[in-house]
Amino acid sequence: MKRNLLKFLLWALVLITPFSLFLGVTEALDNPYRDTYLGAFPSKYERLYEAYGNKIVLIGGSSLPFGVDSSLIESDLHQAYDVVNYGLYATLGTKYMLDTSLDAISSGDIVVIAPELFPQTYSLYFNPEAVLQATDGFSTMNAGLPLKDKISLVYRNFLFGFEKITHAVNGTKLSPSGIYDPACLDNFGDMVEFRESNIMNGGYDANMLITLDETLLDEDFLDYVNDYIKKAQKKGATVYFSFSPTNIAAVRTSEEARGVFEKALAERLDCELLLSLEDALIDKRYFYDTNFHLNTAGQLYFSHLLSLTLQEKIGDESISSSIWVPAPPPIEEDTVVEPPSGDKIDPSTYTGGANADYVDCFLYEDIGNSFKIVGVKPEFYGMTEVILPSVYLGKNVTALSADALAFCTELERVHIGTTYKSLEAYAFRGCIALEGIYLYEEDGSRITPPSENLLSGASRGVTLYIPAGSNYLTGYVWSSYEDRMEFFTPYREDKT
């Protein structure tokens, strides 16, 4: 019996040792995601656990760094609380933010749980890959996670280790530029980079339309939230559930139905709602690049709204009872550039600018200030390469709809110029021969893809070619397609 046990232990040691060695080696490698937007998480965690005195802890996703000015709220509340902005990225999941915050909550704190109004953030979604990217080198931050999630992290850690090795061997370093550089966050974790106006196509992201009804109310999620509320209250904290800032232009639910949704949510929660739903539904002019990310003017407006509401709950009558509303900035409008006349250009020499060589191949939908491609004329189903037109009937073409290229089974290469702001889910479905999609916009935040299914239904080997030096790899949504991307250098006339 003892001999069999000894054999079992020896074999277990033989099997475990290589894996342990592998994890030890990869743990010593630099985290390639350290300087990405996700890499800001350790600073958020550190601020939460190092804050002294009474705290206001705001828990949610990326709507919080884009929507909250913590120093303004602290000032409005006469420095009576330290504001901790514990929101970063929806891909981490609301559950993860709850799990990692509970141990820091203490008596006298105010906790505001404010996930974005979207199915993923109103669920028990957990993303071990994103967690590893955010916390590599800081694994103690995950000590309080449920056992099931810890097992997921251990399993995913092997794949993550191979990713780290690949980045190390290739010498690649993910260095973001633009709004999703962690340097754009201040010491509070608030977004301080100036965001002048709404840059979304038509003022909202059509890939993330919002429906507010009882289908959003996941019972398991609400039970989890209520359990958190109970534990935080037992510690002496006051807990509120709230609505994050939401672009009303993207909401596809009537005001009456929204009222029904709000009432149903309130009845299922074991705490009070902080903001009303209608207060959180904000004019599209106050948003920036997603339906939950405010521009700078919107951030000031929403922060004052939070201050006033919190003041009412706290009972501090010294704060102004009115909300200062900055003037809504006008939505950014693109200049229409007419394409040069003459013969069609060779797509290999395309630079991303104005072009209408293939304008007659497509079907269009007028979406206000611009057009969207919704289909291809049957006589052009057999084309093998195309430059999507930038202008049609005097307006820019800015979007590619779902199934727009559905019957182009021989299409191999698509070139997408800088007028495009939105690519919808399944835009390339049916393109079974597609090899490459060439994007010429250098700032990935100015062209919005869906969080998933952009390439679903297309050839499995299709590659997204992005301009050398661009920021797609570290973009808020584009990073979901990192494994399908390759850099390319667009043609330049002076190139030799």
Angle between helices 128-135 and 41-50 (to 10 degrees): 70
- Structure token pair of residue 24: 């030890």
Domain membership flag for residue 319: no
Domain membership flag for residue 341: no
Nearest-angstrom CA–CA distance, 289 and 110: 30
Enclosing H/E stretch for 371: strand 370-376
**pLDDT the model gives residue 10:** 46
Degrees (nearest 5) of the Cα angle 165, 166, 172?
A: 110
CB 352 within 8 A of CB 417: yes
**pLDDT the model gives residue 494:** 55
Is residue 91 domain-shared with residue 166, that is, in the same domain? Answer: yes
Is residue 8 domain-shared with residue 107, that is, in the same domain? Answer: no
Could you say which residues of the chain have pLDDT below 70?
1-28, 316-324, 492-496
Is residue 122 domain-shared with residue 54, that is, in the same domain? Answer: yes
Domain membership flag for residue 406: yes
- Structure token pair of residue 159: 């794949």
What is the CATH number for 436?
3.40.50.12480
**pLDDT the model gives residue 410:** 97
Tally of domains in the chain? 3
Is residue 296 domain-shared with residue 435, that is, in the same domain? Answer: no
Dihedral (C-alpha) 116, 309, 280, 326: value to the nearest 10 degrees?
A: -120
**pLDDT the model gives residue 13:** 42
Domain membership flag for residue 199: yes
Domain membership flag for residue 342: no
Nearest-angstrom CA–CA distance, 460 and 170: 24
**pLDDT the model gives residue 324:** 67
Is residue 71 domain-shared with residue 19, that is, in the same domain? Answer: no
Contacts of range 155-161, beta carbons closer than 8 Å, 24 or more positions apart: 155/128, 156/128, 156/129, 156/132, 157/23, 157/26, 157/132, 158/19, 158/22, 158/23, 159/129, 160/26, 160/129, 160/132, 160/133, 160/136, 161/22, 161/23, 161/25, 161/26, 161/27
- CA-based Rg of the chain, rounded to a whole angstrom? 25
Listed residue (66, 69, 75, 115) closest to 92, CA to CA: 115
**pLDDT the model gives residue 340:** 83
**437 lies in which domain range?**
347-488
**pLDDT the model gives residue 15:** 46
End-to-end Cα, the chain, rounded Å: 77
Is residue 305 domain-shared with residue 371, that is, in the same domain? Answer: no
Is residue 37 domain-shared with residue 23, that is, in the same domain? Answer: no
Residue 420 has φ and ψ, to the nearest 5°, of -80, 130
Domain membership flag for residue 192: yes
Domain membership flag for residue 321: no
Close Cβ partners of 75 (under 8 Å, ≥ 6 residues apart):
none
Domain membership flag for residue 20: yes
Is residue 387 domain-shared with residue 249, that is, in the same domain? Answer: no
What is the CATH number for 118?
3.40.50.1110
Is residue 127 domain-shared with residue 187, that is, in the same domain? Answer: yes
- 496 residue type, one letter: T
pTM of the model: 0.88
CB 347 within 8 A of CB 336: no
Is residue 200 domain-shared with residue 265, that is, in the same domain? Answer: yes
Is residue 236 domain-shared with residue 273, that is, in the same domain? Answer: yes
Is residue 377 domain-shared with residue 395, that is, in the same domain? Answer: yes
